Amino acid sequence: MPAQLTREPLTRSVEDYLKAIYRLEGAGQPASTSDIAELLELSPPSVSGMIRRLSEQGLLEHVPYRGVLLTAGGRRVAIRMVRRHRLIEAYLVGFLGYTWDTVHDEAERLEHAVSDVLIERMALALGNPRFDPHGDPIPDRDGAIDELVYTPLAEIPAGETAEIRRVDTSQPERLRYLEHSGLTPGIPVTVIQHQPFRGPLTILAGGHEQVIGRELAEQLLCVRPDAK
């Protein structure tokens, strides 16, 4: 109902909340207070307070005790932040010698500080890329984003080959490990064996066999040649 008519500049906190809620909504459910709190490393009462302010501003809908959903306006802001974040990552990797395990934190700060002009200049320098270094899709200027559906490597049956397209973690240690193991977007991987009880996978990638934990295999998002 309150429509956020006066476009006052949003604070960094607000931008972070909206981005987090957008990400949590990706799971299909409304974002819960505690999930937001955990993602942003804040206490639940702090989140409750911010939810009240954001829904007063018309950026989200709140059903008490049930969770929140972004309004169109809130989603617009969130997607804008996602575009910024991913373009900055791509630019830093493409032009300033960053590696995919180090860009996240830098982008996390810069996304709040760059102007629209600078973002578009970066996009231009990069040739308007559609994916960032982790394979995450970059929304276009209008907020359109093609969220392709990928299959986690962990769910590829033994014997099948799939290609890694996207890596769903921002932890530097994990990213370094994956890079070192040759498990990056664009790489074909053959699943040799699944250990039972959600155990590790034996895979073939880059010409040699290796074993990879289940949790990590969940974060390697792939396409199967046929299922594509």
Partner DNA sequence: CAAAAAACTTAGGACGCACTAATTTGAATT
Partner DNA sequence: AATTCAAATTAGTGCGTCCTAAGTTTTTTG
| Contact residues: DNA, CB under 7 A | 11-14, 32-35, 40-53, 62, 64-65, 67
Q: What is the DSSP letter of 29?
A: S
97 near a copy of itself (CB under 8 A): yes
- Contact segment (CB under 8 A) with a copy of itself among 108-116, 128-136, 196-204, 213-221 equals 108-116
**How would you label 91-104 residue by residue, b for 16+ Cβ within 10 Å and e otherwise?**
bbbeeeebebbbbb
150 touching a copy of itself, by CB under 8 A? no
Residues 6+ apart with CB under 8 A from 184: 100, 164, 167, 178
Structure tokens at 23: 């990400």
Contacts of 131 (CB under 8 A, 6+ apart): 86, 90, 137, 138, 166, 185
> Of 50, 51, 79, 92, which one interacts with a copy of itself (CB under 8 A)?
92
Identify what 148 binds: DNA, a copy of itself, none; CB under 5 to 8 Å per kind: none
Indicate the residue among 22 and 91 with the shorter CB distance to DNA. 22
Number of continuous H segments (helices) and E segments (strands) in the chain: 8, 8
Taking CB under 8 A as the rule, does residue 114 contact a copy of itself? yes
Smallest distance from a copy of itself to CB 108, Å? 10
Residue 141's binding partner among a copy of itself, DNA, none (Cβ under 5 to 8 angstroms by kind) is: none
Q: Which among a copy of itself, DNA, none contacts residue 112 (Cβ within 5 to 8 A by kind)?
A: a copy of itself
Residue 14 within binding range of a copy of itself, rule CB under 8 A? no
Neighbours of 15 (CB within 10 A): 18
Please report, as a single letter, which amino acid is at residue 4.
Q
Q: Is the CB of 40 or the CB of 204 nearer to DNA?
A: 40
Residue 202 in contact with residue 210, Cβ under 8 Å?
Answer: yes
Where do contacts with a copy of itself occur on this chain (CB under 8 A)? Answer: 92, 95-98, 102, 105-106, 109-110, 112-115, 117-118, 121-122, 125
